[in-house]
Structures are given as C-alpha cells and as structure tokens.
Copies of this chain bind each other. A is one copy, B any other.
Amino acid sequence: MSQKHVFFFGDGKAEGNAEMKNLLGGKGANLAEMTNLGIPVPAGFTISTEVCTYYYKHDYTYPPELEDEMKEALRKVEQVMGAIFGDAENPLLLSVRSGARVSMPGMMDTVLNLGLNDVTVQGLIKKTDNPRFAYDSYRRFVAMYGDVVLGLKPESEDDHDPFEEILDAKKRARGVQLDTDLSAEDLKELVVEFKAAIKEHTGEEFPEDPMDQLWGAVGAVFSSWRNERANVYRRLNNIPEEWGTAVNVQSMVYGNMGNDSGTGVAFTRDPATGEKVLYGEFLINAQGEDVVAGIRTPQKISHLKDIMPEVYRQFEEIANRLEQHYRQMQDMEFTIQKGRLWMLQTRAGKRTGFAAFRIAVDMVEEGLISKEEALLRVEPDQLNQLLRPVFDAEQKRQAVARGDLLTRGLNAGPGAASGLVVFNAADAVKWAQEGKDVILVRLETSPEDIKGMDAAVGILTARGGMTSHAALVGRQMGKVCVVGAGEISVDYKARQFSVNGKVVKEGEWISLDGSTGEVIKGKINTQPSEVLQVLIEKRQDSEKGVAYHTYQQMMKWADEFRRLGVRTNADQPDQAATAIAFGAQGIGLCRTEHMFFGGERIDAVREMILADDTEGRKKALAKLLPMQRSDFIGIFREMNGYPVTIRTLDPPLHEFLPHTEKEIEDLAAKMNVTVKKLHETIESLHEFNPMLGHRGCRLGVMYPEITEMQVRAILEAACEVKKDGVDVQPEIMIPLISHVNELKAQEVVVRRVAAEVFEKYGFEVEYLVGTMIEIPRAAITAAEVAEVAEFFSFGTNDLTQTTFGMSRDDSGVFLPFYVEHKILENDPFQSIDQKGVGKLMEWGVSEGRKSRPSLKVGICGEHGGEPASVEFCHRLNLDYVSCSPFRVPIARLAAAQAVLKEKN
C-alpha cells in the first residue's frame, strides 16, 4: 500500500496524472491530468482505490492517516477556490463521486452540493444573491444524501421515491405542475420535510456538520462498490472485485446560475461517422442532469459559438489540446458558471465501428498515432460495418416506430436485406429467376437448401445457433442471415409464419438486419457498402470514398505486420473470387460434397449409394468424375498462384438420400429399384448419432473407389490447368481421421491415382497430402499422424463437438443457458475454447512438428474468422487460418493485432 491516500488537484497542479488510473480511477486520473495541463478544473482531491480495498479488508474502517490527509487536501481546495468548507459566509460546496479503473456508468453512487446546512445555505444565498437557487440546491442535497448515505430508498422498484412523494404533495398543495414553479419558501419547507422523513424512516438525524456529511458520503461511495448493481456489472464485464473504486471530492460549479451559465457534453469527433468535427450539445442555465434527463432539448455545440464566442473558442482549444494530448477521440463534460468554463470530465469516447476505423486511419494520417496503435484501436469484428449493405437509416427508424419490428434472432450473417418471403429452396430459385428479391424462411436449413440459399438475398431460420448450417453456409455465401429466431412459428403447409400474434404470408416483404438480428415487416431500401462497390463491383469511382479508403489503409497496415496467412473456405469459383478480392491467400477448405447436389450429380451420387457392389459404385462414380473435374478446373483457374486445400467426401451417405415419401417414390422409379428396396437402403443407412457415424475418411477407407474418383478429378483438373500455364497448388485433405492407419490407407490410394494421372498426362503437378485434425485422438496421436500427413488443418467445429461431447445441432437447448449462467464463458462454437480444445491444438501442433518439422498447419473451422481465435492460432504458430470469404479481412486484421499484442 502506498504512503499516500489522498491526491489533490487544482490551480494547474495535481498530485496525480493520467498514468495513475489504477490508483486514482479513470475519472480522478483524468481530472489530475487536465489540471496539470492547465485546463480549468474545479479543485478537489481523489481518495485512492487502495483506501477502498483497505475499507473492505478492515471491517469498513479507514487507514488512520486518512483523516489528516483529507483535511490537508481540503485546506488546499479552500485556498484555490477561495471559499471555506462549512463557512457561514462563503461556503465551499463539494461533489463526491466514485471513479473506478474502468468506467461503470451509473453503477455506483454520487452526492452533490455537499456542505450545505441551515447555516451555510445562508452563505450561499449571500454569495449568489439567489435564495431559490440556494434552497433548491439544499433540498436536492438532502434528498440525495438521504437516499445514498442514509438509505431512505423506495422499498421496491414499483414503489415511489419517498422524497418525490413529498415533492409531489407540495406541488399539489401549491397547485403547481412543475418543480420550477415552487418558490424559495416552498423549497425551504421541503428541506425541513425531507429531514423529518429521514428521521422517521431511518431513525437517523440528517447530519448538519459538513465534515460528518463528507465522511458519510465517502463511506457511501466506497460501499456502493459492492452493491448488487455493481456486482452484477463487474461479473458481466469481467472486472475484478479487488480493483476497488476511488472517490473524487471536487468543488461544485453550477451551470444553472442564469443565462451566463450552462452545461454540456461533447466529442472531439463525430462518434457515428468518425468525421473530425466537434460534436455535442449543451443547455443554457442548466445542470448536467438536465442534459441527460432530456426534458429540455439541448442545442448543438456549434451554436455555443454564437452565444458565447469566447467560451466556445476556449472550449474548442481545450478539446483540441485534450485530443492531441491523449491521442484519442475525447468525450468531455463541461459547465459554464457565470461565463467561466470549467471542465468536469474527459475520457476516450465510445463510437461506432465505422467511426472507430475512420478515426484510427485519420489519426495516423494526422500524425497523431502510429499504424500499430491504429490497428490495436479497432475491433476486427466491427470491420463488418465497412463491408455490409446497409438499410436506409431513416426508413428503418420509421418502420420500427410503426411497430413493424417482428422479432429478434441471432445476427448470424451481417448486412441488411429486404425480400419477399418464400418457404422452400425451389421457390427461392424460381422467384429469383423471375427477378424477385426473396428471403428464404425455414425452420432450419440443410444441404439440399443450398441452391435456394444462394438464390435468396437473406435467410431466416427459427432454429439453430451461430454455427448452424444456415449460419455457416449463409456467412460463407455472404448472405444476410438471421437464425434461431425462436419466437417464429413456421407453417410450411399454410405457407406463412407467425410471430408475436402477427402473420406473414408467402410473397410478403420482410427486412432482415443481419448485424442486429432484427426481423422487420415490410420493405426497407438498402445499398451496398463502398468497399464492396470497389472490391466486388469494381466501381473505381467509389475508391475515393471514406469507407473504402479506411478499409484499404487498415488492410495495408495489417498485412505489414501479420505473420499468419489467411485463406478462405470456398466451394465455388465465385466464392473464391470474392475471397481473393478480400485478400485471401488460398483456399483452406474446399468441401467437395456441396458439388454433389443438383440435377445429374445427385442422381449419380444416389446411384452410387444404391449400388450393391464395388463395380456398381465405380460405374456411378465414373459419371461424377467429369463433373467434379470441371468444378476443380474452375476453382484452380480462379486461385492461380494460390494453394487450394480440397477435402474428400465427408458427410454420411444418408444425407444424399431423399426423405419424403414422394421423393422416395420418384427416385425409386428413376433408379429402377423398388420403393421397398429404397426404403431398406435408407433404413440401413440410418444412424443414431450420425455425427459419430460412418462419415469422413471412414467412407473412403471402406469404399476407396470414392476417394479414387475424387483424387482423379482433382489431379486431372490440376494437369488440365497447368497445361494452360496456371500455377496450381492442390492440397488433398483427408477428413475425420482418428488413427494414422486411416490416413495411411487413404494416402496409398492418393499416391497410386496420382501416379496414374501423371503417367497419362506425361507431366507432374506438385501436391500435398494432409489431414483434418478434428477428432481428439488425431490431435493426441499427432506425432504418428504427421509421419504421414504433409499438413494438418484443425477442424475446430468437429473438434469442439467431440472434445466437449456436445453436438452443435443439439446444444441449442442448453448452451445458451450455460453461457447465460456463466457455466461457460463463451459459446465454444463461436470462440475457441482455449483451455480444452486449444490444449489439444497446442499438443497437435507441437507433436506434429516434432515428427515433421516442415508440417504446414492451419485451421478451417468457423473459428478461423473469429478474432480471439485468430489470435490464439497466431500464438500456436499456425501457418494460416481459413474462414468464409467475408471474414477474410477480419482475420487479416486480427492476425496483425495478434503480432502487436505479442510485442506489448
């Protein structure tokens, strides 16, 4: 514990400074800093956070030295302010406020106007020549003190405030509506009545001695550190209880002393757009709480220039100095007392993601901060705000005001989209072909819905979490996507859904805000972001826009620092193109099974599944070969010069079979088998736990002819494009291994087919054979696995499922409960569980590289685009992360931050 407990500030000199946030709290440190800068701050002192800790450790008592230190500081304040605490002629009045290391707005208690009593109020009257002001201040103080220090509060949330009740009675008695209609005499009576109420309800006298008042208020503020509200807030925001709060005791200044007084708040830049312009508002003849209360409409800060040009000039100069000094956009509070400007607070200002990015880039260009600082000042996830189409803000506001907000789901795919409701994939495709914007509404989506999802402008599901099929595929496609909107009840038969008593029918307009999860009835206009206009639509005219400039600069800087490569998960050439526009350096996961759906392909796939023997399967696979090959040719051309990791067939075969009786009958006719036989096949493929069933390499190991066809398609495609001069770098990835022997068995097939293909073409293509690490056993035995695998790719979706023994599809019942009740800190399907899943990854990387130092290691689970997970992957020294195209810039940024955080 420090020797010193009390830190004075005033008249250009302070005992603290901005670096001392841990000891003085954020507010106290900044008050000291401003004072040192020569900025006019009402004098005061800060009682340190260590006193708070002492207070709780020592049964609500203070260090013995505190009293003397406080008296000494008080004396200095009196000196600077030219007033005496408790003086009958020229009383010094004080505010007593909390101030923790980080802001906890509204969580703790405050006492204003402290020092007033029946004697000093007379001094105040004399000083201000305004009895009404004096008694108004006095009655406010008594009420606040009675509440905060003496505990006279409403008994429950429904109860009235006891002081408000007395006030209301007084107004009724006087026959007036507003507080301001009460006279000085009325207010004086209220003081007496308030004191009596305190005595009656708490049994305690209101203390007339100002020193008693001060000790009471200090104790109340320290005690409020552990009130219910604050405890909950700390738990939610991971703020340690040991930090404690400081107490700031400061001379009162008044913005309500007439038309030469006022109060306001302002930002040094526009917190919504980031534009460099003083942004804020003020009220003449008002106190701070009036600005917040919103009874009177405040004026724009620029208007102050017209009313009090000198004060405005001074304020502008101070704002400028503060921003230059702190090298951060500032959020300031000020009061003008009789024409004199006092600064009451300054701190870093909250802003939108868009503003955060713009300000960071601007400040670098202004020479205020370094690129490193700029990179660290933004939240990678908020980059979305630069990329996503957005609703016309005014139209949306109006719609919500009209009551058209239907419900709120999970914001799975950011952006904004309006479209006509359809309830199945076929309709989505058909309507889209007719030129309509459609939103596909499903209970949940499955691989068969992919074409419909692709055709839709937005996807809405009633079930599923942030990594459900809809969310995963939607994000990868860059679709606006709201999932798990549990209040929605979908009636496929009636072609409508209902939610909170409202019914929306097929063909009606709805609008999805994928950034907030809002589902709104009706149409709202949207527009693509500037960044997309440049990157995707290649509109050069948009390059000069602020959003694009900001994006471009930030990405340039990110790439200068990051070590981690960033690839994308893409199954189609257009997805690959988008990802490259966003800076992807390869494909980390190309899922071949998505290519198995649609027309002739699904027929051939089903023929293969229904085949009785190897020969039958080979015949069906031969039909698929040219189609798969042409898919790969498209992707390889798009990814010229970049590696492409292709995963062999992963899902269980039953996913490719039809489910409804009608579809089964159709298929039976088409395949020329009996319905009974088809039913038997479907039944025989049924699994109790498909996630843990016959899938992944287990298919390829038992039916090597499937792997053989896929490898042939991949390498023939590679040879074809190489002939045209394309730099092709295929990486063949075997999924779901749990034992190295599975990989060995598949590698034999790959090498054999490769030799055959190269023989046929007369030249070779360099390629790698590797594996997903998505099963705990594969990670545990990584040393063995790496003897065969040339690369690892962590499939953290499945690895999380198996490490937790928790299915993504079924955890929706309990996972939200777990996160809400802090059983789990985060949804492990969103951010890598570093202690569990991460431990396996760490082990996998280090064991794998021990047996093969050149082992390339990446991650292709959805976590690859989540900033905390990206940082973790950086720390594990992975070679790359791979994520959906629209998350590529986020991953680039997070990867740069990881480097910078490591340095710090």
Q: Which residues of A are interface residues toward B (Cβ below 8 A)?
A: 687-694, 698, 701-702, 736, 738-739, 741-742, 745, 774-777, 780-781, 784, 798, 801-807, 809-811, 813-814, 817-818, 821-824, 833, 835-837, 839-840
Contact = CB atoms under 8 A, between A and B. Distances in A.
Task: Give the interface centre of A738, A821, A823 by most chain B CB atoms within 10 Å.
Answer: A823
A617 to B, nearest CB: 15
A833 to B, nearest CB: 7
B780 A803 contact: yes
Contacts of A802: 776, 802-803, 805
A688 B810 contact: yes
A464 to B, nearest CB: 11
A774 B805 contact: yes
B692 A823 contact: no
B807 A687 contact: yes
Contacts of A810: 687-690, 692-694
Nearest to A837: B777
Given A741-B822, A802-B803, A822-B741, A776 B840 contact: yes
Contacts of A777: 803-805, 833, 836-837
A841 to B, nearest CB: 11
B693 A807 contact: yes
Contacts of A833: 777
B689 A739 contact: no
Contact of A836 (B774, B776, B823): B776
B738 A694 contact: no
22 contacts: A687-B809, A688-B809, A689-B689, A689-B809, A690-B810, A692-B801, A692-B811, A702-B814, A736-B805, A738-B805, A739-B823, A742-B823, A774-B805, A776-B802, A777-B804, A777-B805, A777-B837, A780-B803, A780-B835, A780-B836, A780-B840, A798-B805
A745 B824 CA distance: 12
A745 B692 contact: no
Contacts of A814: 694, 698, 701-702
Task: Give the interface centre of A687, A690, A780, A809 by most chain B CB atoms within 10 Å.
Answer: A780
A142 to B, nearest CB: 44
A830 to B, nearest CB: 16
A806 B818 CA distance: 25
A702 B812 CA distance: 13
A409 to B, nearest CB: 18
A774 B803 CA distance: 10
Given A690-B810, A780-B836, A781-B836, 13 more contacts: A687-B810, A688-B690, A692-B692, A702-B817, A738-B806, A739-B824, A742-B823, A775-B805, A776-B805, A777-B836, A780-B803, A781-B839, A798-B805
Contact of A776 (B687, B688, B693, B776): B776
A694 B702 CA distance: 32
Given A692-B692, A701-B818, A738 B781 contact: no
A741 B688 contact: no
A645 to B, nearest CB: 20
Given A694-B814, A805-B774, A823 B781 contact: no
Considering the complex of A and B, which 10 residue pairs feature the smallest CB-CB distances, nearest first? Answer: A692-B807, A777-B836, A693-B810, A689-B807, A775-B805, A776-B776, A688-B809, A689-B691, A741-B823, A687-B810
Contacts of A698: 814
A692 B836 contact: no
A469 to B, nearest CB: 11
Contacts of A688: 690-691, 807, 809-810
A788 to B, nearest CB: 13
Nearest to A833: B777
Nearest to A685: B813
A835 B692 contact: no
A448 B668 CA distance: 35
Contacts of A835: 780-781, 784
A689 B805 CA distance: 10
A5 B741 CA distance: 39
A701 B823 CA distance: 9
Nearest to A774: B805
Contact of A738 (B701, B804, B840): B804
A818 to B, nearest CB: 7
Nearest to A684: B813
A780 to B, nearest CB: 5
Contacts of A821: 745
Contacts of A823: 701, 739, 741-742, 745
Contacts of A780: 803, 835-836, 839-840
A837 B805 CA distance: 14
Nearest to A688: B809
Contacts of A811: 692-693
A687 B823 CA distance: 22
Contacts of A801: 692
A579 B432 CA distance: 69
A804 B775 CA distance: 6
B687 A824 contact: no
Nearest to A784: B835
Nearest to A692: B807
A126 to B, nearest CB: 61
A878 B883 CA distance: 43
Nearest to A743: B823
B776 A692 contact: no
Task: Give the interface centre of A810, A817, A821, A837 by most chain B CB atoms within 10 Å.
Answer: A810
A741 B702 CA distance: 41
Contacts of A805: 691-692, 736, 738, 774-777, 798, 802
Contacts of A691: 688-689, 692, 805, 807
A356 B157 CA distance: 80
A832 to B, nearest CB: 12
A596 B217 CA distance: 60
Given A805-B798, A822-B741, A823-B742, A813 B776 contact: no
